[in-house]
Amino acid sequence: MKRLIFSLFTAAAVLSGGLVFAATAADEVTVTDAYARAVPPGQPNSASFMLLSNASTTAHAVVAAESSVSKVSELHTHTMSEGMMKMRQVERIEIPASGMTRLEPGGLHVMLIGLNHDLQPGDEVAITLTFEDGSKRGITAPVRMLQMKKMQQDMGGMEHGRMSQ
């Protein structure tokens, strides 16, 4: 009997240990600084930005997004080539183990396509991120115009404009 109880106990410990081990990506990735961009009236699309932090030793990835304000949400990025900014859809946004990935203007973002209404400062957008293991995380992104503070810290080191003559 003792042995049986011991076995059960061990099994339970192993199982719960397994559960802890099997923490989902949604548990391990935290989302901060989320916001959606306010758009001019009638604008069909907008974008949402955020900081994804991965505290675990396993790499994770966002593979899909949904939002409360748009028909469709897609993962996109920008690259500069041939002197043009090119926006393209991406399959996934990687968050390295013990690392961070920032979604920001001019780079990775969640595209909100087919807005149900104009996004105005003060509104909130509910966004659900789906991770590579199928786990999901819901976040709330306030709607903002460009943030002066953040922008200065991001852009402080940019080169000056080329002055012709």
Partner 1 sequence: MRNALRTAGMLILLVVLAAALVWVVVYWNPEPRQVNQELNIRRAPVGGDFELASYQGPVSLRQFRGKVVALYFGYTQCPDICPTSLGYLSLALSQLSPEELAGFQGLFVSVDPERDTLQRLKDYGEYFNAAILGITGPAEMIDDVVRRYGAAYRKTETGSQMGYIIDHSADTYLIDRKGKLRAVLPHGTAPEEILAALRKLLREE
Site for partner 1, rule CB under 8 A: 37, 39-47, 71-72, 74, 76, 78, 80, 82-89, 105-106, 109, 111, 113-114, 145-146, 148, 151-152, 155-156, 158-165
- The three-state secondary structure class of 93 is strand
Shortest separation between residue 163's beta carbon and partner 1, angstroms: 5
Residue that the structure tokens 């002197």 belong to: 83
Of the pair 25, 39, the CB lying nearest partner 1 is at 39
Shortest separation between residue 32's beta carbon and partner 1, angstroms: 20
- The three-state secondary structure class of 25 is helix
Shortest separation between residue 99's beta carbon and partner 1, angstroms: 23
Of the pair 14, 155, the CB lying nearest partner 1 is at 155
Q: What are phi and psi of 19, to 5 degrees?
A: -65, -40
Question: Which residue, among 26, 31, 30, has the nearest Cα to 133 in the 3D structure?
Answer: 26
Of the pair 63, 113, the CB lying nearest partner 1 is at 113
Q: Give the dihedral of Cα atoms 9, 15, 20, 26; nearest 10 deg.
A: -150
Residue that the structure tokens 């199928």 belong to: 134
Shortest separation between residue 63's beta carbon and partner 1, angstroms: 15
